[in-house]
Amino acid sequence: MNLSWESTYAIALELRRQHPEINIEEVSLQQIYQWTIQLSEFEDDLALANDDILYAIYQDWFEENIHGK
């Protein structure tokens, strides 16, 4: 599976899986950016990242922590 900036939900799930000990409320957008580009499945232009995309990943991750299993 290839991930791109449009795959915010899939990225959030993968970050949640790889960082289960993290308190999402303490994660910065910069941390989300760094962790996302380090994902082996991530294949997109790094220059396309912006705060809206990173915040969407954050929101998806946050929602999964509240409602996910």
Domain ranges of the chain: 8-67
Q: What is the mean pLDDT of residues 9-25?
A: 95
Least confident interval from 28-37, 44-53, 60-69 = 60-69
**Residue 69 in this model has a pLDDT that exceeds 70:** no
Distance CA 39, CA 7 (A): 12
Tell me if the domain spanning 8-67 has CATH number 1.10.10.600.
yes
- Helix (H, G, I), strand (E, B), or coil: what is residue 3? strand
- Higher pLDDT: 66 or 57? It is 57
| pTM of full prediction above 0.85 | yes
Contact 3, 44 (CB under 8 A): yes
Distance CA 20, CA 46 (A): 25
What digits encode the pLDDT tens for the residues 51-64? 999 999 999 999 99
| Residues above pLDDT 90, as percent of the chain | 91
